[in-house]
Amino acid sequence: MPETFPDSLIVPDFDEKITFNNLSGVVNHQLVMGSYQENLLMQYFNENPGIKEILQKKFHAFYEQAKKDIPESKEHYADSRFFLYS
């Protein structure tokens, strides 16, 4: 079943999101390389209903914990949060 999105949904530019989140070129490269596999991930989600929502909740919880464990005052905090559970 194809995903539907509200008309008001605006997906941010990939590079703008990297900059906004203070991620380094190393993380940017990993995310770009990973994005090439997006079609396989979407196929997996379509074949396994409900898993997308479960993973979304888990990754959100990981990120919230990383924000508690790694303060913005730490050098390269954004990359540290990214790699914490990678």
Q: Is 30 within a domain?
A: yes
For position 2, what pLDDT does the model report?
A: 55
Instruction: Provide mean pLDDT across the span 59-67.
Output: 94
Q: Is 37 within a domain?
A: yes
Is the pLDDT reported for residue 85 higher than 90?
no
> Which residues, 6 or more positions from 7, have their beta carbon under 8 angstroms from its beta carbon?
none
The whole domain housing 22 covers 14-84
Q: Is 61 within a domain?
A: yes
| Count of structural domains, the chain | 1
For position 7, what pLDDT does the model report?
A: 57
Q: Is 58 within a domain?
A: yes
Q: What pTM, to 2 d.p., does this model score?
A: 0.70
Q: Cα(first)–Cα(last) distance of the chain, in Å?
A: 30
**What confidence category does residue 10 fall into, taking pLDDT thresholds of 50, 70 and 90?**
low
